[in-house]
Structure 1
């Protein structure tokens, strides 16, 4: 029942009942008021109500619904606006249960500055000052290549001087080394006309927009004019520029030049992530290319993921293309934009190229992850343990449990966790036994195992491949009662290790397994068992010491729980309280109680 899953279900349903049937964005909040999920919908009421009609089948969605405590919504005018707002809110709040875009860095741009004799340079900051920005580019190398090409083609200034007409007329500046090296024509001294400089800038803009053909055509006409005027050196300079541009164009043109201002998106989906490649094509040349990975948090539909990626990439790269090539039509409609699934021809070749890119990107990511997580020595031991213990899965995640008590007093349990063959101390856990009275290790083990894995199921957290119980057949049988009750008997391999002969027991098998005493598998199991024992004993001693201390203070007449707590917080130990001066005790608990405490310890010494 949903009432059992979420105690505030009636309140949440009352919020859903008044939601409009308009497109918009909804946000789910947890108990602390933090945004844990952002979603978009064509019909807000219909979409949000689907979460609260019945218990979700997907485990991650169940955990999400369990944690929702409040709902807020924003109405927008269209589905496209909903997608844009959803994307922006996800990037702003990074909700726990939304997909994670594995790419959120600042990319370089090329800016043509809004100033007299504009500069052209690389930047990562965008200012709304009238300057013209091109990009963003995913490769700094590409930016530098383009800027180097521009500088080879056109002698543009690189200084930060204010070259307005008044300053140039007053001859405030003098030519620099760049002029003498032939990289600048010294507009600072009026040696270059502004009209000529601005023509250079128009050519640069065309190149950055991908309109290389128009620039080449202009330069060829200009070269012809110079040659007819017998200005052969200047014509030679123009010819060199044309050769540079042609070389750059031949590297980037891959399809029919008639394909202009087109976006290409391809999509690849696997169990944990989705990958989307984007190509920007102008005049038959790919001028931008980028691939993103989207880490899935819920059971998102392919079309939903694809739509979100298209919105994100078009916004990031400032694309206004009215034609988008895709492998399938996404669940999105954009104003003035047509989605096309090409079947033949150059457009199909473009889509194929994009799909090759996304497949290569995914393969590279998987290789990187494999290289990053590979720890040869540890994995050799784990592979040997898998073989020796006859396990279905490699035991990358192992947990070991141990109980500690003295004749039933201060019963505790400890869980230690090894990941990739090494202790993961941040995952260690202590447990106070809550439901068992007296020295009953079997019942204590049953309680602790049930609590640990019931919580893991409720939270949708990872389960170990191997569970080790410190004890023989009795302890193992108790643990299996809880494992079976939770339906995990086929998902977690469980073994017990008896201390005396280092016997390995399996559930339901009376015959133990004996591993060679020098076996790396046995050494790993012993390491886990000893670590669990150490961790549990440390916790048990701490509880026992605190219990003995509190008991000693409780025996002092007139000293209650509140005073005991204050004394312990201040003096830390029984010895500290005993050695404290009367004045120190008086400041903390008053004159009467200070005298009582001092008299008590004086009698104890006698």
Structure 2
């Protein structure tokens, strides 16, 4: 692009957009002086590989003027979230860590997982929690304790009950009370003695989780409610960062990764923080090393930044620094391999299919078993990388009038279009052949979506075999890296759809299963349903509650059958002949 075109840009605060030859937004930035900042990209003094590559792709630009930097910052963050430019730092890997959300809404207590933090009243977001930190166990425990009573779901909550439950959960999440483990042990033993093996297992996993959390607590840090600590180390055109999240004095999560420098160190660090806190709450305190204090950082509330020079907080930062230094070359190599492979595979696919741009790819697959509980899973690939927070699944309506896969492909893509009306991808990949491609094209035509479609066809061993175009042309993928890329995304969407199908099926897995128990027929099963209202409530009923409807012998059989996969430490043996 001719740098003289930038002479029309004003010397005012604002947000700028770099566009490529296809008018796609490839980078979004903010500046006190738009013209000065935008011209810096073309001065030739920047040695960042990523900046050089970005400049090579710039064909045009847009900008928006604001009266102050605060307005520009908000607009920049919203624009990055909306357009997802490939040269902005989006921290894709970190989005996989969920929060445990506790929320009072419409006179109910909501306990669930949330991947995006939202500031809202009467809500606790605990996390983000990585794998192995028991978010599912916490959720099960709180549901069992606060949403059920005597095995039955609570339908009405008084305001007093909701507030007490909310405050109790908040206190538990501090993991400070040493007596709490003893209480859990008592509950576990009581549940086991009453043959409530599912409940006993929940208490057992909670004991393990609380023990681990208490071990991770640092006594000196308990005065700090929530804080994040960051360390940044620059090497050549790369910056390796380490981050630790502390909640109530407990270390929840530490991760290290690398990013390419864009324009300069300060610009990159600001881009990092804008992206990192785009969907996360800014904690009470942010810890940074003293050498970052002179930077003009655009964190939402600058008063929350601390630059410790001694004490336990400096120790936290030094630990992070040692972590980052030990992984410096490893993370840089990982970044280089990932970026190079991803972009190269996209370029190869563009040439193979004769498509100019494949920045945005969507792949869809269905999962069902004999036409029951059908699910559509959809994954989005941006610049060759699976975009984790754009994964979507849709529950579909059973339809027996047509071939299942064709009907469900139609339903799934329609639901996806209705959710993403302004985000048309460059390519839609279907897990299937000509019939699926034809069905997708009909739907796209109906909604005036203009994008390319291909099918990935599997062989008799259920492995990726070839590409099928809309013109019914078979393309066998000879390049090994490109084949692996396509095969991996096909496997990923297949796994994703099947995992959502399994979860949905498990929710109804007890339906009709009671008649498999000796001594229980359809009439007795119906009697249980009439009393408890659902299979789930039968499953959660205590032994005493079951004995109100059936004999003691049958009650034992039901509890034993429903809990046969639960491992209980006490190894209770149930005597089926007991009266």
Q: Could you state the TM-score of these two structures normalised by the residue count of structure 2?
A: 0.45
Structure with the larger RCO, 1 or 2 (CA within 8 Å, 6+ apart): 2
Q: Could you state the TM-score of these two structures normalised by the residue count of structure 1?
A: 0.43
Which structure has the larger Rg? Answer: 1
